Structure 1
Amino acid sequence: MERKKILKRIIEEQNNIIENLENSVARYKIASNLEENSASDPEELSHQAEAKDMQLRYENMLRIEEQNLAFVETEMEENHTEIENGALISTEKNYLFVGISVPVFEFEGKKVVSFSDDAPIFKIVEDKKIGDTIMMGDQKLEIKSIN
């Protein structure tokens, strides 16, 4: 039950990230279109190219974040027994979600920290089992459950 509630919160955070990226794409699209219609000197053309480049970068980030959202949504009905993408790890102080990164938030008095399998922390936790301890910063935490 806590897994679904935490994943719903992660989805909310991910939707916020997506909304911000959509707003950035729209801003740069407007900027590149405005300058496109009035660009006549090299400096204006340069600004147009910069705005278009930023638009494309934000569109790429948006695609990645939409894929991340789809991943979390598919994880709603999953359950894990090993630390892998999609696993939710519970310690006495934190919940750790492996798969995507969103800002840290609190859930029932514990911080929820999410990260991808590319993050350095994944190398620390990936081979651990229930009852093992991990170091997060200066905190020694015991793994209580994996699901």
Structure 2
Amino acid sequence: MELRLDTAGLSGFLEREFGQVAQDFAVERVGPEGLLLRLKVAERHLRPGGTVSGPSIFALADVAMYLAILSRIGPVALAVTTNSSIDFMRKPVAGRDLLGEARLLKLGRSLAVGDVLVRSEGQAEPVARASLTYSIPPVR
């Protein structure tokens, strides 16, 4: 399936529709194989002990999957998460951004299913793995 939104299109969409969090993320690459999204880790993303919080890691996974879907279907703002599961596997490396690699496993007319591997920048071992399902609104 061809891409409907490229890196610049996804970044612009995020800024227009989700300006409140857009500064936290950067679309690194998008292609037929999926999408790579960066969480620009800042003090507000940390929990006691100095590690990235679970909600921040989940946000990276959720936004990465959302943008991976939109890269294929276009700017459909009302596509929503209907199910998610996340496994936190190891502590992120302190002081490094997180990278979420989203992969679409199924893209249908009304549902999309995919997974996201989250890694600390420069590390091979994943920090977390998320599985997400999205509902896609009907075309009118």
- Quick check: which has more Rg, 1 or 2? 1
- Structure showing the higher helix proportion among its residues: 1
| Both structures adopt the same fold (TM-score exceeding 0.5) | no
Q: Which has the higher contact order (CA 8 A, sep 6+)?
A: 2
TM-score (norm 1): 0.29
- Structure showing the higher strand proportion among its residues: 2
